[in-house]
Structure 1
Amino acid sequence: MRDINCGSVPVCEGKKVVGMMTDRDIVLNCVADGKDCSSIHCHDVMTSDVITCSPDTDAHECARLMSDNQIRRIPVVQNGELVGICAIGDLATVNIHINEAGDALSDISRPLQ
């Protein structure tokens, strides 16, 4: 992740998404616990309850999913296989309401109650 300047990666078995691993997951589930990160596997730190969308999901729905689930990236799945990732930054490049991507980011960044 550091080598390619990436904050998250999908974890797959074949082409099926089984988890997402973020830099935050690594910090909270490995570094903060004082574990040796070189001996930890993806499944030890990844989020396995993955929110996904399809290629047909519109930008408004993606923004809502990100906001509701406080996530910045959603794997795009078609016929059970990973075909892409929709990131919060991608929403800023499409023709959606001017504040929707910003509102989603604000919701994602708020502390959980």
Structure 2
Amino acid sequence: MKPVKELMTTDCKTVTLQDNIYEIAVLMAQHDIGFVPVVEAEDRSKLIGVVTDRDLVIRGYAEKQPGSCSVQNVMSESLITISPDQDAEEAADIMAQHQIRRLPVVDYDKLVGVITLGDLSLGSTTGHDAGVALSEISEDHQVLH
């Protein structure tokens, strides 16, 4: 399997604590993304949190937060990250273990990219690791009718 740095997306759209949840929603819609890293305003590469589309819904709109509400009110601060030099198989294992679909890639606390399940499936000749990760991520989140 390849190292994470060969598979990750490096053109990450980011926000700072000075942005609001409306701006995040617009950014997600414009770029068809569901995950936005939050970086420090002074050092736009220092990762301090992330916001997912689910965070916007659960912590933002479902709690009747106005669009002008701060990013800090909806962001996740307990981050799970990976190094660009780690193996992509390790990324798949981390995603499966923590039931996440996107993993920030950091090098000495600096955001250098994001690796997703899609990146993993494209980087593997079999897609096995991404498939296993997706299976484990999805198994506890099945909808009951």
User: Cα distance 1:41–1:110, how it changes in 2: closer, same or farther (>3 A)?
Assistant: farther
TM-score (norm 1): 0.90
TM norm structure 2 = 0.71
Contact kept, 8 Å, 1:88 with 1:101, in 2: the verdict is yes
Higher strand share: 1
Structure 1 unaligned regions, length at least 5 = none
Alpha-carbon distance between aligned partners in 2 of 1:76 and 1:51, rounded to the nearest angstrom: 9
- Whether 1:16 aligns to 2:46 is yes
Give the share of equivalent positions with the same residue, in percent: 42
1: CA distance, partners of 2:111 / 2:52: 17
Q: CA deviation at 1:109?
A: 2.0
Counterpart-to-counterpart distance in 2, 1:31 and 1:19: 19
Indicate whether 1:94 and 2:126 are aligned.
no
Three-state SS of the structure 2 residue aligned to 1:49 is coil
Q: Which has the higher contact order (CA 8 A, sep 6+)?
A: 2
| Cα distance per residue 1:22-49 (max 9 Å; x no partner) | 000000101111222x121111101101
Moved over 6 A (4+): none
**1:61-92 deviation digits (Å, cap 9, x = unpaired):** 00011011111111111122111111110000
The residue type equivalent to 2:139 in the other structure is R
Unmatched runs of 5 consecutive residues or more in structure 2 = 1-27
Residue in 1 that maps onto 2:108: 79
For 1:3, the equivalent position in structure 2 comes to 30
Q: CA RMSD in A?
A: 1.5
1:27 aligns with 57
Cα shift readout 1:3-31 (whole Å, capped 9, x = no counterpart)? 11111010011211111100000001011
SS of the residue aligned with 2:50? strand
